[in-house]
Amino acid sequence: MIRRAALVVVLLGIAGVPFMGGDYYTTLMLPFFGYSIALLGLNLLFGYTGLLSFGHALFVALGAYTAAYMTSVFGILHFEAILLVSVAVALVVAVPVGLLCVRYVKIYFGMLTLAFGMLFYSFLYKFYHLTGGDEGIRVLRPMLLGQSFPALGKVEFLTGPYYYYSLALLVAAAVVMWRVVGSPFGLCLRSIRENPEKAEYVGVSARRYRFYAFLISSIFGGVGGTLLAIPTGLADPLLAYWTHSGNLVFMMLLGGFANFFGPILGSFVFIFLQDQVISLTQYWRLVFGAILAVIVIFFPHGLMGVFDPRARAGG
Amino acid sequence: MPLLEASSLRKLYDGFCALDGVSLAVGSGEFVSIIGPNGAGKTTLINVLTGLLKPNTGRVLFKGQDITGVGPVKLARLGMARSFQLVNIFPELTVLEVVKVAVVSRLGRGGRLFSSLARDREVTEQALAVAELFALADKRNIPAKKLPQGDKKLLDVASAFALRPEVILLDEPTSGVSTREKHTIMEILVSASKEIGIKSIIQVEHDMDIVFGYSDRIIALHQGKVLADGTPAAIKADEAVVNTVVGRKTRMPERGA
């Protein structure tokens, strides 16, 4: 009950940000929505299935470039269509990549996902005529539910309709993921995380389930990336760079992978902390490195572990 | 036709011959114990019988079907399960969840992405029923890792039983637990297998009290070969087996566990 009440309060708080937070902080919330969706996926893979991907930014970048291609190249502005295509593109890439990666576990899985992420980065960077190279491709303002909001300026659009559209999408994504982790499928994933050998002896094929988890997490990555690209207005190769994957892992650890809401909290804290620290010092990476070290050593279950110490990624 | 049949199994590890022409057959209704000194090839035999290891020669038939090296997932689906010498559970899952994994798998519901596991009455009831058979129902919400050693062993076996297999292979079901607990575990095992309808049990066991107390038939392995295969009475009368395998252990106190 307390958790449910807390959730409602938090949601109302987020919905109230455009009224109270001003344009600056409202705009800062937009990447939070995108990252949270991507992290829900990443944590299905890590917190629930036990596979740590260091290349998840690949799918975030795919989502962003899909938005760029759809709007700038094909002139399709319906955001719903863009999101659907993002899902499809993420799947098309995730099938072969996943089939290869889930043959490995632990550090080998991590390294292989890292390799695919960097491969995609190089592709984006070098194939100038297709991807715009280091300049990337512009992402145009989409139409939401068929509306183009011509009367609204860029900031008004982002802090108004787009803000609530993103929030709704995050809520929908969280509900879907909540159902997935609480399903019989979710239990099988957790059994594989705990003990793949035993799981196989009760008939749960580790490789097959890891593959499905990979596909789902990729879809969430793609949708998150699409959502991120609209406020930035640009898809550029750095989205696929390994440091971006590293940031995703950081957010997940910061908030706590052992809790369903941990990664969402992590993305929130990361974004706002980064904003503050960057304005204070150019050595923000140093500060973040120190924070990460403190978390791993003293709070292995992340910030959420501090609030809710008993929780383990469960149903 | 025997339920499980193995013919002339040979398994080599870097020139060391762990199994050297082992043949055996286990019929419906049998409780068979495999005994032998350390290094006799017992665990290798279990691993080959359960399709984890592929033998160099020979094959394994389950219900007349060749299952040599098919792997554990397919085996579970065909109706053969196993438990492990060292406790093999899902430490962070609760007791009930550990059993539920097997029930979900047997009912083929692992692909259900969006249905609620908590509201799946059938899975919950069946898992609870198995937990009750193993006296674990009261501990259903405890994380498996927090159970005492004896309960962990039971949970490992319970999750294998939840598959409702026809044949179950138990690799030292009572190793690492106290003498008093051993008999409790065995009693639970036997009654649960009747309840669930398991047709045959094959166990590897060191404790001769348990071997002679529960088996219909005993297969003695020595240096990768079947030394003897017969009823407990026949094994006791077999000089060679008593000298190499059973030894004076029957009279000796438990190895300090």
Query: Model confidence over B113-127: pLDDT tens digits?
Result: 999 999 999 999 999
Dihedral (CA of A183, A185, A188, A190) sign: negative
| B157 and B169 fall within a common domain | no
Helical segments of A44-105, H only: 57-68, 79-101
| Set of chain A residues whose Cβ sits within 8 Å of the Cβ of B112 | 183-185
B246 pLDDT tier (thresholds 50, 70, 90): low
- Burial class from Cβ neighbours inside 10 Å (0-12, 13-18, 19+) for residue B125 reads exposed
pLDDT at residue A310, rounded to an integer = 57
| B74 and B169 fall within a common domain | yes
Q: Is B32 helix (H, G, I), strand (E, B) or coil?
A: strand
Cβ contact A183–B118 (<8 Å) = no
- Of B119, B142, B163, which marks where a domain is finished? B163
| B143 and B153 fall within a common domain | yes
| B151 and B221 fall within a common domain | no
pLDDT at residue A127, rounded to an integer = 92
| B169 and B67 fall within a common domain | yes
Q: Is B71 on the interface with A (CB under 8 A)?
A: yes
Ranges of each domain in chain A:
28-241
Q: Is A194 on the interface with B (CB under 8 A)?
A: yes
Q: Which of B82, B89, B195, B100 is nearest to B140 (CA)?
A: B100
Nearest CB to B81; choose among A193, A201, A205: A201
| B211 and B183 fall within a common domain | yes
- Of B136, B163, B190, which marks where a domain is finished? B163
pLDDT at residue A71, rounded to an integer = 96
Residue stretches of chain A with pLDDT short of 70: 309-315
Cβ–Cβ under 8 Å, residues A96 and A61:
no
Residue B34's CATH number: 3.40.50.300
Nearest CB to A202; choose among B91, B123, B163: B163
Q: Average pLDDT of B223-234? A: 90
Give pLDDT tens digits for B135-189: 999 999 999 999 998 899 999 999 999 999 999 999 988 888 888 888 888 999 9
Average pLDDT, chain B: 89
Q: Based on the structure, what is the number of domains in chain B?
A: 2
Higher-confidence position of A311 and B36: B36
- Of B163, B198, B214, which marks where a domain is finished? B163
pLDDT at residue B253, rounded to an integer = 43
pLDDT at residue A230, rounded to an integer = 97
Cβ contact B120–A195 (<8 Å) = no
pLDDT at residue B256, rounded to an integer = 40
Alpha carbon distance B64, B62 (integer Å): 5
pLDDT at residue B79, rounded to an integer = 93
Q: Is A312 on the interface with B (CB under 8 A)?
A: yes
Alpha carbon distance A212, B153 (integer Å): 31
| B128 and B192 fall within a common domain | no
Q: Is residue B254 predicted with pLDDT exceeding 50?
A: no
Alpha carbon distance B22, B225 (integer Å): 6
| B133 and B13 fall within a common domain | no
Q: Is residue B244 predicted with pLDDT exceeding 90?
A: no
| B109 and B210 fall within a common domain | no
Domain range spanning residue B159? 88-163
Q: Is A287 on the interface with B (CB under 8 A)?
A: no
Q: Is residue B37 predicted with pLDDT exceeding 80?
A: yes
Q: Is residue B249 predicted with pLDDT exceeding 60?
A: no
pLDDT at residue A305, rounded to an integer = 83
Q: Is B194 on the interface with A (CB under 8 A)?
A: no
Alpha carbon distance A59, A112 (integer Å): 14
Helical segments of chain B, H only: 42-49, 72-78, 95-106, 121-133, 149-161, 179-196, 208-214, 232-237, 239-241
pLDDT at residue B252, rounded to an integer = 42
B218 pLDDT tier (thresholds 50, 70, 90): very high
Alpha carbon distance A67, A137 (integer Å): 9
Cβ–Cβ under 8 Å, residues B199 and B166:
yes
| B67 and B190 fall within a common domain | yes
Alpha carbon distance B225, B177 (integer Å): 29
Q: Is residue B257 predicted with pLDDT exceeding 60?
A: no
pLDDT at residue B13, rounded to an integer = 87
Nearest CB to B110; choose among A188, A198, A200: A188
pLDDT at residue B78, rounded to an integer = 93
| B129 and B100 fall within a common domain | yes
| Set of chain B residues whose Cβ sits within 8 Å of the Cβ of A257 | none
Q: Tokens at residue A211, please?
A: 């593959």
pLDDT at residue B88, rounded to an integer = 87
Cβ contact A195–B118 (<8 Å) = no
